[in-house]
A and B are shown apart, each in its own frame.
Chain A
Amino acid sequence: MADPMKIRASAAGDSTEVKVLMSHEMETGQRKDAQGQTIPAWFIQNVVVTWNGRTVLSAQWGTAVAKNPFLSFKFKGGAKGDKIAITWTDNRGDKRTDEALIA
């Protein structure tokens, strides 16, 4: 299981800013190891962010998203203490969900 995500969600005015740092290799499938073998692609394909169970952002990613992906965005609404849940799924079928409260 991968390391937990770092999620920071802060309410400002009538909207909430979400910043997340995920821990993932995001291997492209283009690189070769010391023996000249291609390192197989291993990357996050789907990301879903929910606020109190409602989807506020969903994304499909390819191999070009940088290692340990960073993402930030804003949505209207959200109050202190509301729950933000973020789930990613990678091309091996691994899945991770982390939650944070809006500060």
Chain B
Amino acid sequence: MSAMILSSAILAAQILLVAAMGCAALRVLRGPRAQDRVLALDTLYVNGAMLLLVFGIRTGTTHYFEAALLISLLGFVATAALSKFLMRGEVIE
């Protein structure tokens, strides 16, 4: 019973998260300006980290946790660097 509840909830969560990543990817492709693309890329990173956490729950191992932590770290660094670039025209002055 609990296995059925968990597996169906995990499947539904994965489908919802993939749809969310699709929406963010659509905004990356379509976004009229550079800041829209950067915002959508940040959202895509966070959704990817959530999808990896759900994968970790599905497989029952904690290995996916490190990948999610790395993705959230890299997302922060990438968005900060891109914002700096949009502001100044270069990243390291």
A and B interact physically: no
Q: B residues engaging A (CB < 8 A)?
A: none
